[in-house]
């Protein structure tokens, strides 16, 4: 028979580590933060949170909790519209509060005089805020350092704080379920029928700024007959018109391959869930060579044009 013995040894040191002392208001010598200037915001794509470093200096080694006082939660940057955002700790919990004790904070250990302690804050914006383009800012924030003893928060030092950014000029729309137009039935006895037209509608058109509408396309060419012969054409001209609010463009492939609206969709501001319609009709022409015809018509809405 064998027996297993487990040996447990508890080793102690001659000195124990003590927790950092509490900070007093007179101990805090500086409360600063790094740049809060944000990258341009595109509501139709993901936004990576901006990392901001908060630094706290003190005349002795101690610990503090840091939160941000805001007139509103979530906070809002003001420009041509309102852009909501949040200030969070590294784990993603909000550290904004409107008064009283903050629900969330970040912890900062200060090593001692001459060596500041630091923590990382995140400025986070939710996607999908369709507001007018331009500069936005929030100058009404207060960065606040606290001593925390149980549920008691004692203010130690505060500093004014601001966040600034821009909203990019961008648009987005939903692709139609049937983006192909088949005009086979509009060819009668080999001749294009100019009385037949078809319309494609783009829904969910949203823009942060007034935009132009642009059409790009060439006449459909025969896929089977590269050359026109004997009074027959191997191409079909068409006229396309696009309308988005106040912007309209007309493309006639007998004379051009690109057309851009002279006016813009609106006088200013953002557009949410608008509709863009594109109508296409064939131009009358000579008899066509038998076969297949195909081309691509590109519809563009771009506020930067």
Question: Per residue in 48-63, pLDDT tens?
Answer: 999 999 999 999 999 9
Residue 8 has pLDDT above 80, yes or no: no
Q: 6 pLDDT band (50/70/90 cuts)?
A: very low
Q: What is residue 11's predicted lDDT score, i.e. its pLDDT?
A: 34
Q: How many CB atoms lie within 10 A of CB 116?
A: 18
Two tokens, residue 218: 């060439």
Q: What is residue 1's predicted lDDT score, i.e. its pLDDT?
A: 23
Q: What is residue 21's predicted lDDT score, i.e. its pLDDT?
A: 76
Q: What is residue 230's predicted lDDT score, i.e. its pLDDT?
A: 82
Backbone conformation region of residue 285, classed left if phi is above 0, alpha if psi is from -120 to 50, else beta:
beta
Q: What is residue 287's predicted lDDT score, i.e. its pLDDT?
A: 94
Q: 221 pLDDT band (50/70/90 cuts)?
A: very high
Q: Which residues contact 2 (CB under 8 A, 6 or more apart)?
A: none
Q: Which residues contact 6 (CB under 8 A, 6 or more apart)?
A: none
E strands, 35-81, where?
A: 50-58, 62-69, 75-78
Residue 16 has pLDDT above 80, yes or no: no
Q: 112 pLDDT band (50/70/90 cuts)?
A: confident
Tens of pLDDT, residue by residue over 114-140, are: 899 999 999 999 999 999 999 999 999
Residue 12 has pLDDT above 60, yes or no: no
Q: What is the mean pLDDT of residues 236-251?
A: 97
- What CATH code would you report for 21-167? 2.60.40.10
Q: 20 pLDDT band (50/70/90 cuts)?
A: low
Q: What is residue 13's predicted lDDT score, i.e. its pLDDT?
A: 33
Q: Who wins on pLDDT, 190 or 228?
A: 190
Q: What is residue 15's predicted lDDT score, i.e. its pLDDT?
A: 30
Burial class (CB within 10 angstroms; exposed 0-12, middle 13-18, buried 19+) of 243: middle
Q: What is the mean pLDDT of residues 282-302?
A: 94
Residue spans in the chain of domains classed CATH 2.60.40.10: 21-167
Q: What is residue 154's predicted lDDT score, i.e. its pLDDT?
A: 96
Q: Report how far apart, in Å, the C-alpha atoms of 68 and of each of 25, 76, 134, 139, 220 are.
A: 17, 13, 25, 12, 61
Question: Which range (10-14, 38-42, 150-154, 283-287) has the least confidence?
Answer: 10-14
Residue 159 has pLDDT above 60, yes or no: yes
Q: What is residue 300's predicted lDDT score, i.e. its pLDDT?
A: 96
Model confidence, pTM: 0.84
* Domain 171-302 indexed as CATH 2.60.40: yes
Q: What is residue 113's predicted lDDT score, i.e. its pLDDT?
A: 83
For the four alpha carbons of 218, 224, 226 and 228, in that order, the dihedral sign comes to negative
Q: What are phi and psi of 90, to 5 degrees?
A: -60, -25
Two tokens, residue 79: 């420009």
Q: What are phi and psi of 160, to 5 degrees?
A: -65, 145
Q: What is the mean pLDDT of residues 233-242?
A: 96
Mean pLDDT of the chain: 91
Two tokens, residue 151: 């549920």
Q: 178 pLDDT band (50/70/90 cuts)?
A: confident
Q: What is the mean pLDDT of residues 141-169?
A: 96
């Amino acid at each position: 028979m064998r027996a297993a013995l487990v040996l447990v040894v508890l080793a102690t040191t001659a000195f124990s580590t003590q927790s950092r002392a509490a900070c007093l208001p007179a101990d805090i010598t500086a409360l600063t933060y790094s740049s809060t200037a944000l990258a341009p915001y595109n509501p139709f794509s993901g936004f990576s949170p901006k990392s901001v470093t908060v630094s706290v200096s003190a005349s002795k080694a101690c610990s503090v909790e840091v939160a941000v006082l805001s007139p509103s939660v979530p906070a809002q940057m003001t420009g041509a519209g309102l852009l909501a955002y949040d200030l969070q700790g590294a784990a993603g919990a909000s550290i904004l509060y409107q008064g009283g004790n903050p629900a969330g904070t970040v912890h900062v250990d200060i090593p001692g005089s001459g060596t500041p302690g630091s923590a990382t804050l995140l400025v986070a914006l939710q996607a999908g805020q369709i507001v007018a383009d331009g500069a936005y800012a929030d100058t009404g924030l207060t960065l606040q350092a606290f001593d925390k003893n149980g549920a008691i928060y004692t203010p130690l030092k505060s500093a004014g704080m601001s966040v600034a950014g821009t909203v990019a000029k961008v648009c987005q729309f939903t692709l139609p379920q049937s983006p192909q137009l088949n005009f086979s039935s509009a060819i009668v006895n080999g001749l294009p029928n100019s009385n037949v037209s078809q319309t494609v509608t783009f829904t969910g058109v949203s823009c942060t700024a007034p935009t132009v509408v642009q059409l790009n396309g060439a006449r459909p060419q025969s896929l089977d007959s590269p050359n026109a012969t004997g009074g027959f054409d191997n191409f079909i001209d068409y006229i396309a018109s696009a309308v988005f609010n106040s912007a309209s463009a007309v493309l006639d492939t007998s004379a051009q391959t690109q057309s851009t609206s002279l006016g813009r969709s609106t006088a200013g501001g953002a557009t949410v869930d608008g509709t863009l319609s594109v109508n296409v009709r064939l131009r009358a022409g000579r008899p066509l060579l038998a076969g297949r015809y195909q081309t691509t018509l590109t519809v563009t809405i771009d506020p930067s044009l």
